[in-house]
Every structure is written in C-alpha cells, then in structure tokens.
Amino acid sequence: MRFQGVPFINDILRYDSLSIVGLEKNTGKTECLKYVLDRLPVQTKRIAVTSIGIDGETVDQVTRTQKPEIVLREGMYFGTSEAHYRQRRLVSELIDVSDENTSLGRVVTAKALTGGKILLSGPSSASGLRRWMQEMHRFDIDLVVIDGALSRMSSASPAVSQSMILATGAAYSANIATLVSKTAHVVDLINLDLTSQGNIARLMPLEKGLWFIDKDGALNNLDSMTSLSRDIRFDGMENCETLYVAGALVDGFLEKVRKNKSLKQVELVVRDFTKIFVTPQQFRLFIKAGGRIRVLQKSKLIAVTVNPTSPSGYVLDSDILCAKLSEAIGLPVYDLLKNKPCN
C-alpha cells in the first residue's frame, strides 16, 4: 500500500529504524516526529517510538517557546522514563521495566491501548538505544522511530538507525545562504560513500586509535596515537593505501593529512558521519585537493525538513529556503506545515 500525497512515509517503511535529528533547537524536529507518527500505518505495521532526550513538553525548557505535544495512536509501543510514564495521558499495557537508568528513572516500555499524549524520555545514550531496540525485536516491531536530541547526532549513527530525517531552519541560521551552506555540509557528511567490504570487515572491530593498511594489505597501528594527539607523525607511511581514524576526525588532523605529500592518494576512513567534527572550510579544502573520505557505516537520509521561523520570531521565506536548499543537496526539502516538497 502506498500513501499518495504523503511525503516520504513510503520511504520510511523500507527500513526498520528511523532517527529524526534537529541541527538546532526549534528547527521543527518535534513537529516532524508528530507528522510522521500521525501518518504511519499502525493498522498494518508495528511501530515503536522513543527519544534520546526529553520530548513532548508543551514549553521548551531552554527557549520558553511553545512545543507540539507528542500524541501516540492506539497500538503504538513506546519507551520512556518512569517519571514520564506516570504522567501519561493514555491507557497503556506495561511491557517491561528495564535496568537502563536515566535521570528520570528506569526506562519503561509499554503499548498504547488508546490514543493519547505522552512525554518521551527514553535511553540517554546510543548504546542504551541499541539495547532497547534489540529488546523490541521480541515484539516483532516493524519500525522503531527515534527522536534525537540537540547536538546528539549519535542517535542518528548508522550503528543505531538505518534511516534518518534531518530538521533544519531559521533557528540554525537566520541567513538563507548561511543556513543552506551549513546544512549542505552536514548532508555531505551523511552521504559519504562506504569504503570497500574488505576494509569494513577488517576495520569495524577497531574502536580506538589510528590505523593504516599498506599496499601489501598489512594492517598497522600508529603507536596508540589518535587524531587528537598533538604530535602526529606519518613516518613510514609511504605505502599507505587506507588511513583509518577510529575516533573523532577533527580539523587539525585533516589538515595534516592534506598537507602530507605521501598521503595524497590515501583513502581516509571513519566509522560514520557522526565521528566527523570538521568545518566546512577544511572539508572543502581536503576534497578539492583530491582527498577521499569514506565510512564503515551509513544511514539513508530520507528527507530534510525546514522550519522557517526562529524562536525570536524572525521568519525566512519558506519557498526560497526550500528551493535553494533542495538545489544544494539534491534531495526533497519539506516545510511540513505547508506539506509540499521542493525538489
């Protein structure tokens, strides 16, 4: 069954997990979550939802602006803290109380027996999210929807979710050109290509340090250095083909790789886009110089949504913003309050 006239819902249903991530507070992430939950086919699919932050408040605790409440539909499963489970405004069946602790108590999993409002505050870490999602497999869940938190891109890591929606808007920048440029940079990182299957098999178990694979296929450890080390040396790497950064990729390290003549043809590999903390300027310089960055894991970016209104009340032209951003990233861009895509 296809859902005519409903943006990207059919695309979401191709995957078993979805993260909705905002680039800043008040970019419309919660509105996007509400939009998705209202349109998923609960009659034919088992849907579970949780949040890595706190969602469902009527007033944002930082900006004091109004927030849309989260309304679950009958049959949906959900994970939230004990404190917020007690405040639910729906009838539910208690499924599980885990050992996963948050600042608001243990994580409670339940099934909504009626529609109603809920405050979502689920597992507080990416590892906690993964454990909760694994538990949900016991109930034959078809799709887990994760509401990300401010600056917690880890919830959108491919290690957590197969697909994602990115929410941006005037709260991220009040200048359309700047907003488009900054958002396009994040999209470029999300869309980085996978490295070879051979590299994935060899490098995935390595969670710390710097490593390289030489032209003979040998795997080498760079003496316990990381990309954050002050004294990074690339001695003896003339035969390097693949350079793997197991942790964070930062500006200083990327610049050193770019300026090292012996690494001109090297493929630089990171675990996934959430490990990249480089500025658009350094990223462009690296790519322009012929540099290649690949990832071990990637999620499918389904769509980008925009909120043209900032918390201070400044309003961007939605049509111009959507058109320019869509042109820059090559993906549909939606103002969900207008419910029409630009592509």
Closest CA to 185 of 45, 104, 282, 110: 282
Give first-to-last CA distance, the chain, whole Å.
24
Rounded mean pLDDT of 36-61?
80
pLDDT of residue 158: 79
Mean pLDDT of 85-101: 92
Asked if 308 and 335 touch (Cβ cutoff 8 Å), the reply is yes
Half-sphere exposure of 48 (CA within 13 A, CB side): 27
**What number is the average pLDDT over the span 258-277?**
92
Bridge partners for 301 per DSSP: 164
Kindly report the length of the chain: 343
Give mean pLDDT, residues 286-313.
Answer: 93
CB 336 within 8 A of CB 20: no
- Is residue 66 predicted with pLDDT exceeding 50? no
- Choose the most confident range, by mean pLDDT, from 133-137, 233-237, 303-307: 303-307
Q: How confident is the model at residue 52 (pLDDT cuts 50, 70, 90)?
A: confident
Domain ranges of the chain: 9-191+299-342, 197-295
pLDDT of residue 343 exceeding 70, the answer is no
Average pLDDT over residues 1-27: 81
HEC secondary structure over the chain? CCCCCCCCHHHHCCCCEEEEEECCCCCCHHHHHHHHHHHCCCCCCCEEEEECCCECCCECCCCCCECCCEEECCCCEEEEEHHHHHCCECCEEEEEEEEEEECCEEEEEEEECCCEEECECCCCCHHHHHHHHHHHHHHCCCEEEEECCCCCHHHHCCCCCCEEEEEEECCCCCCHHHHHHHHHHHHHHHCCCECCHHHHHHHCCCCCCEEEEECCCCEEECCCCCCCCCCCCCCCCCCEEEEEECCCEEHHHHHHHHHCHHHCCCEEEECCHHHEECCHHHHHHHHHCCCEEEECCCCEEEEEEEECECCCCCECCHHHHHHHHHHHHCCCEEECCCCEEEC
Instruction: In whole angstroms, give the CA distance from residue 181 to residue 198.
Output: 34
Question: What's the whole-number average pLDDT of the chain?
Answer: 88
- The pLDDT of 30-51, averaged and rounded, is 94
- CATH top-level class for 9-191+299-342? alpha beta
pLDDT by residue (tens digit) across 253-266? 999 999 998 898 89
Check pLDDT > 80 for residue 4.
Answer: no
Residue 179 has pLDDT above 90, yes or no: yes
For residues 44 and 312, the model is more confident at 44
pTM: 0.88
Confidence grade of residue 152 (pLDDT, cut at 50, 70, 90): low
Confidence at 1, pLDDT banded by 50, 70, 90: very low
Whether pLDDT at 236 is above 70: yes
Percent share of the chain, pLDDT over 70 = 90
pLDDT at 111: 97
Question: Distance between CA 203 and CA 221 in Å, rounded?
Answer: 11
